[in-house]
């Protein structure tokens, strides 16, 4: 009953039912430095969008503005058709109008961080159960069961009672991905998930991410892994100096760079 | 060596231990409550709250506890309104209450600084993860910030508690016959300072040893994630190519 009501409400507020995330003209400054200069992004359900760009191009900021870890100065974000309500703040920039709405939307947008950010005082299993029980108020037994299944899936069930500092980076990141999955998120946000890993540990994390993409999850992935962007994602977005330089199908973009900037960018990686 | 004298002194001083523990317990208990309030005020982000706590810490950390105790016990009773107040006077005319008030006010200044430092040392990423998973500020504080900050605060907090144990000896200057007061009386009666003060010193040492052990145990049991990694021999399977 409530699910169908929610679906009806979503359908009413969204002209495009397949839209998972829609960003319009997002701007963000840090001091005098304009990091995002009006970015728009459309992610449909099932899309895997790789966001590429050199350091300082604004790709992480874009991701963090979508779940409001950073507050965008202007622009609008819709998640599953629902607009995140903003209001004018004291300094003229907008601030979230309803923090409860933001919290509810964040619970649908699980994030995987570059530095894992697992809660170090909890075991892996507790890490997976914390948010579902305290945010979604699901029964603990059910969360535990799901957590164990997710840990089996990412291959670290044997480490379920370990504390994060006792695991390798790759294992920690797989635990972090499982923690995100435990929220049954509508969209997953990955912020350079393999950048803090030793080269030999990157593969195990990418394999998990690839399997998520293959089961049709909606993912926004900020990454430097060109092979992932080319082979796994359904769209590639290239940011340059806070603007969308080009956007398209990965096969075409990697076969023939649509812009000079993107050409130089991938040339640097192929060296 | 006069063992009988040692034994009888030991016994006399030990009989004052409950009084010492009483001052100690209520001093740190009320101190903790005040420190929690100060920390909250400081972290709340209000400018006036910050100035108040800074002034508080400046005054109570910057002056000797003995001065504070004298001012509270001898000083405040000089004011007519204190002597005629139905609330203040029953507290401030009693040396026991005065000592507890002085200790609580003093330790709260130190503890609020310890807690402030611990809160600031909680890794930003862990709080950010809690935010990103939709936790409300209260849940975030309860599940992530507080448990991590408590563990960070514990070593410095245990030191402060040990300092307070020793500070209870100051109660003897406002006529309280706790362990130090008792020891001084025996010393005055017998003129044998070495034996008497050695007995008192040994009891304080043993008391602080148990407090230190207790805190070490609490710290150990709260920090399994900071101990060496458990047995890694249980190999985990590599991630299969197809999941």
Q: What is the pLDDT of residues A235-260, one digit of tens each?
A: 999 998 888 888 889 888 888 888 88
CA distance A72 to B157: 40
Q: Give the pLDDT of residue B31.
A: 96
Q: Give the pLDDT of residue B238.
A: 55
The pLDDT of residue B87 is above 90: no
Per the CB < 8 Å rule, is B129 touching A163? no
**Closest alpha carbon within chain A to B128:** A69
Least confident of A172-176, A178-182, B83-87, B163-167: B83-87
Q: Give the pLDDT of residue B54.
A: 94
Q: Give the pLDDT of residue A112.
A: 94
The pLDDT of residue B80 is above 60: yes
Distance (Å) from the alpha carbon of B236 to chain A's nearest alpha carbon:
6
Comparing CA positions, the residue from A165, A161, A119 lying closest to residue A144 is A161
Going by pLDDT thresholds of 50, 70 and 90, the confidence category of residue A204 is confident
**Closest alpha carbon within chain B to A165:** B225
**Closest alpha carbon within chain B to A67:** B132
Per the CB < 8 Å rule, is B133 touching A106? yes
Mean pLDDT of all residues in chain A?
87
SS3 A219: strand
Does the pTM surpass 0.90? The reply is no
pLDDT digits (tens, 9 = 90+) for B173-208: 998 999 999 999 999 999 998 889 999 999 999 999
Mean pLDDT of all residues in chain B?
89
CA distance B190 to B206: 25
Check: CB of residue A154 under 8 Å from CB of residue A174: yes
User: What torsion do the CA atoms of A196, A202, A205, A210 make, to the nearest 10 degrees?
Assistant: 120
The pLDDT of residue B123 is above 80: yes
Question: What b/e string do you get for B192-217 counting C-beta neighbours within 10 Å, with b at 16 or more?
Answer: eeebbbebbeebbeebeeebeeebee
Per the CB < 8 Å rule, is B225 touching A107? no
As a whole number of angstroms, the longest Cα–Cα distance in chain A is 56
Which range in A223-237, B20-34, B218-232 is most confidently predicted, on average pLDDT?
Answer: B20-34
The pLDDT of residue B240 is above 60: no
CA torsion through residues B97, B102, B104, B105, sign = positive
**Closest alpha carbon within chain B to A211:** B243
Check: CB of residue A113 under 8 Å from CB of residue B129: yes
The pLDDT of residue B241 is above 80: no
Q: Give the pLDDT of residue A16.
A: 62
Strand A187-191 and strand A218-222: the pairing is parallel
CA torsion through residues A179, A180, A181, A182, sign = positive
More confident residue, B109 or A159: B109
DSSP code of B223? -
Tell me what the mean pLDDT of segment B166-170 comes to. Answer: 94
Contacts of B241 in chain A (CB under 8 A): 207
Considering CB atoms only, which of B129, B236, B239 is closest to A113?
A: B129
Q: Give the pLDDT of residue B101.
A: 94
Going by pLDDT thresholds of 50, 70 and 90, the confidence category of residue B239 is low
Q: Give the pLDDT of residue A1.
A: 42
CA distance A62 to A49: 13
Q: How far is CA A85 from CA A77, A79, A105, A136, B216, in A?
A: 9, 11, 11, 21, 49
More confident residue, A4 or B195: B195
Going by pLDDT thresholds of 50, 70 and 90, the confidence category of residue A197 is confident
The pLDDT of residue B105 is above 90: yes
Going by pLDDT thresholds of 50, 70 and 90, the confidence category of residue B93 is confident
Q: Which long-range contacts (CB under 8 A, 24 or more apart) does A133-138 make?
A: A134/B135, A134/B139, A134/B143, A135/A103, A135/A107, A135/A183, A135/B133, A135/B134, A135/B135, A135/B139, A136/A107, A136/A183
Count CA atoms within 13 Å of residue A222 on its CB side. 23
SS3 A20: strand
Q: Give the pLDDT of residue A14.
A: 45
A174 touches chain B (CB under 8 A): yes
A115 touches chain B (CB under 8 A): yes
Give strand pairing partners of A243. A240
Distance (Å) from the alpha carbon of B239 to chain A's nearest alpha carbon:
6
Best mutation site among B122, B133, B242 for testing chain A: the one with the most A CBs within 10 Å? B133
Distance (Å) from the alpha carbon of A116 to chain B's nearest alpha carbon:
8
Per the CB < 8 Å rule, is A207 touching B243? yes
Contacts of A208 in chain B (CB under 8 A): 239, 243
CA angle A175, A179, A185 (to 5 degrees): 140
CA distance A174 to A167: 10
Considering CB atoms only, which of A67, A109, A208 is closest to B243?
A: A208
Contacts of A179 in chain B (CB under 8 A): 133
**Closest alpha carbon within chain B to A114:** B125
pLDDT digits (tens, 9 = 90+) for A105-117: 999 999 999 999 9
E strands of chain A, at which residues?
A: 19-30, 33-44, 48-52, 74-79, 82-83, 86-88, 94-96, 109-112, 187-191, 218-222, 235-240, 243-248
The number of residues in chain A equals: 271
Residues 6+ apart with CB under 8 A from A115: A196, B125
Distance (Å) from the alpha carbon of B111 to chain A's nearest alpha carbon:
23
Per the CB < 8 Å rule, is A103 touching B144? no
Considering CB atoms only, which of B125, B151, B230 is closest to A162?
A: B230
Q: Give the pLDDT of residue A271.
A: 63
Instruction: Extract the tokens encoding A141.
Output: 């037994």
Going by pLDDT thresholds of 50, 70 and 90, the confidence category of residue A88 is confident
Distance (Å) from the alpha carbon of B122 to chain A's nearest alpha carbon:
11
Phi, then psi, of A92 in degrees rounded to 5: 95, -25
Going by pLDDT thresholds of 50, 70 and 90, the confidence category of residue A17 is low
Considering CB atoms only, which of B128, B136, B147 is closest to A121?
A: B147
Q: Give the pLDDT of residue A9.
A: 46
The pLDDT of residue B28 is above 90: yes
**Closest alpha carbon within chain A to B145:** A119
The pLDDT of residue B114 is above 50: yes
Per the CB < 8 Å rule, is B236 touching A131? no
Comparing CA positions, the residue from B186, B212, B213 lying closest to residue B200 is B186
More confident residue, B238 or A135: A135
Q: Give the pLDDT of residue A109.
A: 92
Scan residues 14-73 of A and list those with Cβ closer than 8 Å to B.
67, 69
Going by pLDDT thresholds of 50, 70 and 90, the confidence category of residue B228 is confident
Tell me what the mean pLDDT of segment B107-134 comes to. Answer: 94
Q: How far is CA A104 from CA A10, A47, A136, A228, A248, in A?
A: 14, 22, 9, 30, 31
Contacts of A213 in chain B (CB under 8 A): none
The pLDDT of residue B51 is above 90: yes
E strands of chain B, at which residues?
A: none
Q: Give the pLDDT of residue B225.
A: 82
Going by pLDDT thresholds of 50, 70 and 90, the confidence category of residue A3 is very low
Instruction: Extract the tokens encoding A201.
Output: 């540990």
CA distance A249 to A234: 6
Tell me what the mean pLDDT of segment A124-151 comes to. Answer: 92
Distance (Å) from the alpha carbon of A177 to chain B's nearest alpha carbon:
12
Per the CB < 8 Å rule, is A131 touching B135? yes
CA torsion through residues B128, B133, B139, B145, sign = negative
Going by pLDDT thresholds of 50, 70 and 90, the confidence category of residue A8 is very low
CA distance A246 to A57: 13
H helix and E strand count, chain A? 10, 12
Instruction: Extract the tokens encoding B129.
Output: 């993860």
The pLDDT of residue B234 is above 60: no
A109 touches chain B (CB under 8 A): yes
Distance (Å) from the alpha carbon of A241 to chain B's nearest alpha carbon:
25
């Amino acid at each position: 009953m409530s699910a169908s009501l929610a679906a009806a409400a979503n359908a009413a507020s969204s002209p495009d039912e397949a839209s998972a995330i829609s960003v319009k003209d997002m701007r963000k400054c840090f001091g005098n430095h304009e990091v995002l200069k009006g970015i728009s992004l459309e992610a449909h359900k099932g899309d895997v969008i790789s966001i590429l760009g050199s350091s300082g191009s604004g790709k992480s900021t874009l991701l963090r503005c979508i779940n409001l870890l950073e507050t965008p100065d202007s622009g609008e974000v819709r998640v599953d058709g629902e607009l995140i309500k903003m209001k004018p703040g004291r300094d003229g920039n907008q601030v979230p109008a309803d923090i409860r709405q933001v919290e509810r939307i964040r619970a649908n947008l699980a994030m995987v961080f570059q530095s894992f950010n697992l809660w170090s005082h909890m075991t892996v299993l507790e890490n997976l159960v914390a948010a579902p029980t305290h945010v979604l108020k699901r029964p603990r037994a059910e969360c535990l069961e799901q957590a164990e299944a997710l840990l089996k899936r990412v291959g670290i069930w044997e480490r379920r009672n370990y504390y994060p500092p006792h695991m390798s980076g790759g294992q920690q990141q797989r635990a972090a991905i499982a923690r995100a999955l435990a929220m049954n998120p509508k969209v997953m946000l990955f912020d350079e998930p393999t950048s803090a890993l030793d080269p030999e540990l990157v593969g195990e994390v990418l394999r998990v991410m690839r399997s998520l993409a293959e089961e049709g999850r909606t993912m926004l992935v900020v990454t430097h892994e060109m092979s992932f962007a080319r082979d796994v994602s359904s769209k590639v977005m290239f940011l340059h100096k806070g603007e969308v330089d080009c956007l398209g199908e990965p096969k075409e973009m990697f076969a023939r760079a649509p812009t000079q900037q993107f050409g130089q960018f991938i040339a640097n990686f192929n060296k | 060596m006069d063992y009988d004298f040692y034994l009888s002194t030991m016994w006399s001083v030990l009989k004052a231990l409950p009084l010492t523990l009483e001052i100690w317990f209520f001093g740190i208990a009320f101190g903790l409550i005040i420190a929690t309030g100060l920390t909250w005020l400081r972290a709340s982000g209000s400018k006036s709250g910050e100035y108040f706590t800074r002034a508080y810490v400046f005054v109570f950390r910057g002056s000797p506890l003995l001065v504070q105790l004298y001012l509270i016990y001898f000083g405040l009773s000089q004011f007519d309104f204190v002597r005629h107040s139905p609330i203040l006077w029953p507290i401030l005319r009693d040396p026991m209450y005065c000592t507890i008030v002085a200790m609580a006010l003093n330790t709260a200044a130190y503890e609020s600084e310890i807690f402030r430092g611990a809160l600031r040392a909680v890794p930003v990423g862990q709080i950010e993860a809690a935010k990103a998973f939709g936790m409300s500020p209260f849940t975030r504080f309860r599940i992530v910030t507080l448990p991590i900050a408590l563990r960070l605060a514990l070593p410095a907090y245990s030191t402060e508690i040990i300092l307070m144990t020793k500070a209870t000896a100051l109660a003897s200057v406002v006529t309280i016959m706790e362990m130090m007061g008792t020891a001084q009386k025996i010393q005055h009666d017998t003129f044998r300072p070495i034996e008497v003060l050695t007995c008192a010193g040994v009891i304080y040492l043993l008391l602080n040893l148990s407090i230190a052990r207790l805190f070490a145990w609490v710290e150990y049991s709260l920090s399994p994630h900071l101990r060496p990694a458990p047995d890694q021999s249980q190999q985990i399977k590599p991630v299969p190519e197809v999941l």
